Amino acid sequence: MIILGINAYHGDASACIFIDQKLIAAVEEERFTRVKHAAGFPINSIKYCLKYSNKTLSDVDHICINRNPKQKIFQKLIFASKKLLKLNFLRDRISNLKKINSIKNELDTQFNERFNGKIHYIDHHTSHIASSVFFSKFDETNFISVDGFGDFASTVIGFYDGEQINKVKEVLFPHSLGLFYTAMTQFLGFMNYGDEYKVMGLAPYGKVTKYEEISDLIIKKKQNLFELNLKYFNHHKGNVEMSWLDGEPKIGKVYSEELSKLIGRPRELKERISQDHMDIAASTQRVYEDMLIYLANSIYEYKEIKNLCISGGCGMNSVANGKIKHKTNYEKIYIPPSPGDSGGAIGSASIILKKYFQEVKDLNDNPYLGPSYTNEEIKSLLDSKNDIIEKTGSKIYKFDANSDLFSFVADLLTNQKVVGFFRGRMEWGPRALGNRSILADPRNPNIKELLNNKIKKRETFRPFAPSIISEKVKDWFEVDEDVPFMSQVLLIKKEMRNKIPAVTHVDGTGRLQTVSKEMNLDYYNLIQSFNSLTNIPIILNTSFNENEPIVNTPGEALDCFLRTKMDCLALENYLILRQ
């Protein structure tokens, strides 16, 4: 059986393919279009999945979309009639729904062969939940799905009993923790879709001075979990621009002028970040964390299960995720490599997979599911670009043995070189996990400024992640657990923080990525090579990009290397070193 999963006409469009219960390939559309969080129809992603699996569209038995236009139609009509939403808002929503319902027509225009299977429209949050609980390896687990909105809902809590997804409570439009965080993100001058992570990164530099004021934006409810204090918001009035059909997603200003009256003037786009802005970020993050803990405890009170799965776009808030075990009774947390909308493609497909294969228990969550390139392809690229490479004063090396390459790269890192590392299949999800990464020495206290200013060209407060050999976690962090997808920010042991200042946040934490032999042997061996030279089983890891989606092809990696001040680029077994 061949199942194709799709996230279409929403942010982070994506596709995946299952063949006989095995996840074969998955990729986000932005990696091909080079547009961040690309929306629209994921035609490039679909074509990659089919090509990689050596299948055609006519071979596919099922196509699954992580949206169901018919979901909660009654509630939608009631809300629309009560609020008398503006005509342009309703027209945009109808246009979006028509696109979702015309997937077969879209396929007919994009492919020469016809799709003869079944199309399934799976509820948005059910898809999110499936992408976590089915891959968690938990026999039973509670779950939380939290995002902006999807199929008229923003939050769902419940439990998975090993057989069924049981939803206990949900929060409907216009109330949303995701919209709350987006409003505060925009208030702080970060207006691009997906900028919420900047607030999370800024928060440790501030003090929680505006907790009471910002808490006024959210009202806890025993029966309905919570509501937004809508006087501070605009999105429910139907006059906020939202674009999902093509290119970069856009959301207009979702907060009202009442928010300015509450906490002061919003930050302008290029205004210097002040201590007040940092304090607002810290207070926003604390309010969100408390609400997430509240949701986690709410479902635990209903069902005392020690495992918890988190999904939805808010599942990317790794700082909040890292505090759950310390503030609740949960013992194990699972967050998939792509908890947000792109991951809904895998979730929707796995729902149908479970329907036809009841006994499926262990679905593989290895995230290395994207394109890869051979040494022959890379040699051809380097030969064609040889004149340009020579003008930079760079030298090209070829390593026959992987161990020699890893030793050479490790030595460069100890000499404070910044290395672009391009190897194997591209990662699925928003995090670079060692195959499309920029690497550096975590011991260097000055490397953070250099990376942000001269390579990443982004805000100076943005942190970098520590990739650590999995069996060494307990020696360096206050926990001993597997966090392979950078999904939790956790405390680094006090006595270790001064040894790895480049990956230690100002509050003593780090966004952990554990690296195991089983999941990524090459990256594991590279870190082990660095460890043998330094007694530090950690490498600084950040995504291989410069204000763009993570690089996909060797050509994009080379272009990024040439236009930045990276010292070295490793492309499979080739290495370019600036002299």
Domain extents in the chain: 2-126+345-356, 128-336, 375-578
Q: What is the dihedral of CA 415, 416, 422, 425, to 10 degrees?
A: 100
More confident residue, 113 or 469: 469
Other Cβ atoms less than 10 A from the Cβ of 60: the count is: 23
Tokens representing 148 are 């902006």
C-alpha distance from residue 377 to each of 47, 269, 385, 555 (Å): 20, 42, 13, 10
**Domain 2-126+345-356 in CATH 3.30.413.10:** no
Q: Which tokens belong to 167?
A: 């939803």
- What is the identity of the amino acid at 436? R
Per residue in 365-398, pLDDT tens? 999 999 999 999 999 999 999 999 999 999 999 9
Rounded mean pLDDT, 416-420:
96
* pLDDT above 90 as % of the chain: 82
Which pLDDT band, with edges at 50, 70 and 90, does 8 fall under? very high
CATH of 375-578, one of 3.30.1540.10, 3.40.50.1820, 3.90.870.20, 3.40.50.2000: 3.90.870.20
At 69, is the pLDDT very low, low, confident or very high (cuts 50, 70, 90)?
confident
What pTM was estimated for this model as a whole? 0.94
Q: What is the CATH number of domain 128-336?
A: 3.30.420.40
State the average pLDDT for the chain: 93
| Share of residues in the chain with pLDDT > 70 (%) | 94
What value does the mean pLDDT take over residues 120-133?
Answer: 97
Give the mean pLDDT of 21-36: 96
Outline where DSSP puts E strands in 208-260. Answer: 218-221, 225-228, 242-243, 250-251
DSSP E strand boundaries for 232-292: 242-243, 250-251
Reported as a pLDDT band with limits 50, 70 and 90, residue 362 is: low
pLDDT band at residue 73 using 50, 70 and 90 as cut-offs: low
pLDDT at 361: 61
Sheet bearing 165-172, strands edge to edge? 165-172, 153-160, 141-150, 307-311, 332-334
Task: Identify whether the C-beta of residue 232 lies closer than 8 Å to the C-beta of residue 262.
Answer: yes
Give residue 88's pLDDT.
Answer: 53
Question: pLDDT digit string (tens) for 77-90?
Answer: 555 555 545 545 54
Query: pLDDT per residue over 423-466, tens digit each?
Result: 999 999 999 999 999 999 999 999 988 898 878 877 878 889 99
> Which pLDDT value is given to residue 3?
97
Regarding beta strands 141-150 and 22-28, do their DSSP bridges make them parallel or antiparallel, or are they unpaired? unpaired
Closest-CA residue to 473 (of 409, 439, 516) = 516
Same CATH fold assignment for domains 128-336 and 375-578? no
Q: What is the pLDDT of residue 305?
A: 98
Q: How far apart are CA 272 and CA 257, in angstroms?
A: 22
Spell out where 193-299 has E strands. 218-221, 225-228, 242-243, 250-251
Cα distance between residue 190 and residue 338, in whole Å = 22
Mean pLDDT of 354-362: 75
pLDDT tens, position by position, 163-216:
999 999 999 999 999 999 999 999 999 999 999 999 999 999 999 999 999 999
User: 409: which DSSP letter?
Assistant: H
Q: How far is CA 67 from CA 15, 30, 349, 497, in A?
A: 14, 20, 12, 44
The candidate with the shortest Cα–Cα distance to 137, out of 367, 429, 369, 365, is 365
